[in-house]
């Protein structure tokens, strides 16, 4: 981009080819959705579905994009009248580009907490969506409740301008109940199991931290007027890099600081239990179902689990991106065996329809996307239980040996035992766990330290077989023989 390149905004939209701007909602479109966490994924996924829905059936379903904690996206969007572009890039390099104008307002929760509460309380708002990452829910996966020792949540409950996503949502719901506004539907869109039910529990546990005089009426109002629907989302949207922005500017002749680039595959399965109206998402490919369970199992075990395995093993083998990692023959052979023998059967046993491995690999290994392994490896403790531990435990229950899945779990433990520098710095929770693991000399000791957090999880934890011994065995192989040998041996 040169200094002469004009910035994308309403005035400059005429510089774009008309086919790129054809779907833009008309000026004056009202806001009907509040979204918490307008990262790259939201802008490529829910915002595009919503724009397509408004094109199919006009309505005031513009999105108020609310940054829960950052400012950069809000600033970038405001600098260009909330317009941006989405490039959907195929594995053969073909691009499908569109301008997106579904975002009709922006809020920085840190700077404008009262505007966020007002947006959540507004009569016109009927849907709330969230993508705040797995860690953004600040929950304890073992209980499904807010982590009781989290100082940020506690400070929010004491009444400061809220800084946590759940605190922001609850304060908005409180304002809405006081305003007497209509019912609301909340759709979490993060890769978490039963994310609707989870978020309802978190909202309730936050309410219970409030003074009794506030808690009781709010809990009653939420119970009667707010629906929390689980959703399953799928589209690879890597974090935008400077090279992406440069390429967009060069291709379009306008500079777009909020541009996103993702794959062409885009799917959204939503639990059909709304408390009120919604955009015509059903007309543009969003699937509504009474039970997202089978879709969720396939997504977590057949897309996210192989990605987590690729991330941990790939980083240990020196790769940076998914494409680079799956370009290695040894890792590809291991992933194929992992998928065929353990992950796909476990998803099928839970009633899902796993995709063909080759089609999946073609998607995930898209050579035109830079999907960073380090991002996928973040927040492992919030991801591995549902992606890898649960299917491994089910195999053990059936009398089988999930050694391939256990190798992926062991790779995560080993990654945390590698010093920063020889691996990327991870999120604060992962680094805390890494510090706890550091004194452990032996694989069994390290696995024992993680046993409760990693294996004693979720609602079935009472009957879930412990796969710790198998993970310790795989970790020993990794530590004694090396990652490369462990991967080759496992792939057979």
Ligand X SMILES: NC(=O)c1ccc[n+]([C@@H]2O[C@H](COP(=O)([O-])OP(=O)(O)OC[C@H]3O[C@@H](n4cnc5c(N)ncnc54)[C@H](O)[C@@H]3O)[C@@H](O)[C@H]2O)c1
Contact between 68 and ligand X by CB under 6 A: the answer reads: yes
The DSSP secondary-structure symbol of 13 reads G
Q: How many residues bind ligand 44H (CB under 6 A)?
A: 11
Q: How far is the CB of 474 from ligand X (least distance, A)?
A: 26
As a dihedral over the C-alpha atoms of residue 252, residue 256, residue 258, residue 263, rounded to 10 degrees, the angle is: 20
Contact between 309 and ligand X by CB under 6 A: the answer reads: no
**Residues numbered 189-208 forming contacts with ligand 44H, rule: CB under 6 A:** 191
Taking each helix axis from N to C end, the angle separating 305-316 and 403-417, rounded to the nearest 10 degrees, works out to: 50
Q: Are 306 and 376 spatial neighbours (Cβ–Cβ below 8 Å)?
A: no
Residue nearest ligand X, Cβ-based: 39
Q: Are 74 and 43 spatial neighbours (Cβ–Cβ below 8 Å)?
A: no
Among residues 50, 73, 304, 405, the one that binds ligand 44H under rule CB under 6 A:
304
Contact between 360 and ligand 44H by CB under 6 A: the answer reads: no
**Residues numbered 212-241 forming contacts with ligand 44H, rule: CB under 6 A:** 234-236
Q: How far is the CB of 402 from ligand X (least distance, A)?
A: 25
Q: How far is the CB of 192 from ligand X (least distance, A)?
A: 7
For ligand 44H, which is the closer residue by CB, 278 or 375?
Answer: 375
What whole-number distance in Å separates Cα of residue 200 and Cα of residue 204? Answer: 6
For ligand X, which is the closer residue by CB, 277 or 428?
Answer: 428
Q: Cβ-count burial of 334 within 10 angstroms (0-12 exposed, 13-18 middle, 19+ buried)?
A: buried
Among residues 41, 206, 268, 281, the one that binds ligand X under rule CB under 6 A:
41
Tokens of 32: 């009907």
For ligand X, which is the closer residue by CB, 135 or 294?
Answer: 135
Q: Are 46 and 269 spatial neighbours (Cβ–Cβ below 8 Å)?
A: no
Strand order in the sheet with 95-100: 95-100, 84-89, 260-263
Binding mask 128-167 for ligand X (x = CB under 6 A): ---xxxxxx----------------------------x--
DSSP 335-351: HHHHIIIIIHHHHHHTT
Q: Are 404 and 337 spatial neighbours (Cβ–Cβ below 8 Å)?
A: yes
Q: How many residues bind ligand X (CB under 6 A)?
A: 24
For ligand 44H, which is the closer residue by CB, 303 or 331?
Answer: 303
As a dihedral over the C-alpha atoms of residue 245, residue 251, residue 252, residue 256, rounded to 10 degrees, the angle is: 0
Taking each helix axis from N to C end, the angle separating 357-364 and 329-338, rounded to the nearest 10 degrees, works out to: 130
Binding mask 138-157 for ligand 44H (x = CB under 6 A): --------------------
For ligand X, which is the closer residue by CB, 133 or 366?
Answer: 133
Q: How far is CA 244 from the centre of its chain?
A: 21
Contact between 307 and ligand 44H by CB under 6 A: the answer reads: yes
Binding mask 167-206 for ligand X (x = CB under 6 A): -----------------------xx---------------
**Residues numbered 234-253 forming contacts with ligand X, rule: CB under 6 A:** 235-237
Q: Are 414 and 316 spatial neighbours (Cβ–Cβ below 8 Å)?
A: yes
Residues that bind ligand 44H (CB under 6 A): 134, 191, 234-236, 303-304, 307, 375-376, 383
Residues that bind ligand X (CB under 6 A): 37-42, 67-70, 73, 131-136, 165, 190-191, 233, 235-237
């Amino acid at each position: 981009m040169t200094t002469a390149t004009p910035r994308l905004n309403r005035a400059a939209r005429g510089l774009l080819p008309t086919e790129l701007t054809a779907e833009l909602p008309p000026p004056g479109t009202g806001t009907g959705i509040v979204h918490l966490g307008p990262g790259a994924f939201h802008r490529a996924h829910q915002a595009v579905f919503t724009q397509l829905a408004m094109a199919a059936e006009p309505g005031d379903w513009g999105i108020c994009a609310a940054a829960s904690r950052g400012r950069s996206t809000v600033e970038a969007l405001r600098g260009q009248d909330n317009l941006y572009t989405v490039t959907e890039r195929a594995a053969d390099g073909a691009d499908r580009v569109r301008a997106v104008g579904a975002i009709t307002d922006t809020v920085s929760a840190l700077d404008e907490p009262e505007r966020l509460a007002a947006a959540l309380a507004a009569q016109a708002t009927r849907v709330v969506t969230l993508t705040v990452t797995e860690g953004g829910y600040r929950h304890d996966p073992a209980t499904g409740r807010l982590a009781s020792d989290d100082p940020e949540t506690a400070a929010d409950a004491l009444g400061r301008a809220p800084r946590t996503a759940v605190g922001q949502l609850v304060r908005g719901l409180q304002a809405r109940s006081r305003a007497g506004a209509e019912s609301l539907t909340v759709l979490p869109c993060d890769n978490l199991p039963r994310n609707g039910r989870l978020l309802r529990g978190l909202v309730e546990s936050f309410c219970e931290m409030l003074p009794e005089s506030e808690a009781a009426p709010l809990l009653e109002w939420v119970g009667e007027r707010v629906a929390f629907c689980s959703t399953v989302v799928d589209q690879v949207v890597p974090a935008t890099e400077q090279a992406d922005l440069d390429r967009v500017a060069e291709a379009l002749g306008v500079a777009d600081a909020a541009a996103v680039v993702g794959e062409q595959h885009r799917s959204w399965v939503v639990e059909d239990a709304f408390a009120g109206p919604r955009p015509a998402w059903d007309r543009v490919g969003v699937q509504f179902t009474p039970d997202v369970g089978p879709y969720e199992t396939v997504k977590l075990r057949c897309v996210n689990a192989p990605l987590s395995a690729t991330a941990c093993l790939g980083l240990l083998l020196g790769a940076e991106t998914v494409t680079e990692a799956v370009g290695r023959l040894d890792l590809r052979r291991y992933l194929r065996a992992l998928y065929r023998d353990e992950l796909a059967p476990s998803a099928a046993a839970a009633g899902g329809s796993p995709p063909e491995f080759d089609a999946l690999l073609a998607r995930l290994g898209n050579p035109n996307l830079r999907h960073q392994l380090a991002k996928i490896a973040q927040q492992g403790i919030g991801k591995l239980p549902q992606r890898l531990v649960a299917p491994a435990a089910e195999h053990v229950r059936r009398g089988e040996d999930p050694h391939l899945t256990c190798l992926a779990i062991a790779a995560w433990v080993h990654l945390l035992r590698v010093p920063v520098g020889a691996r990327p710095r991870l999120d604060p929770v992962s680094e805390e766990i890494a510090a706890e693991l550091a004194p452990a000399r032996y694989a069994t000791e390290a696995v024992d330290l993680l046993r409760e957090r990693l294996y004693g999880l979720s609602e079935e934890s009472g009957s879930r077989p412990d796969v710790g011994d198998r993970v310790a065995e795989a970790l020993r192989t990794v530590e004694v023989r090396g990652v490369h040998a462990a991967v080759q041996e496992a792939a057979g």
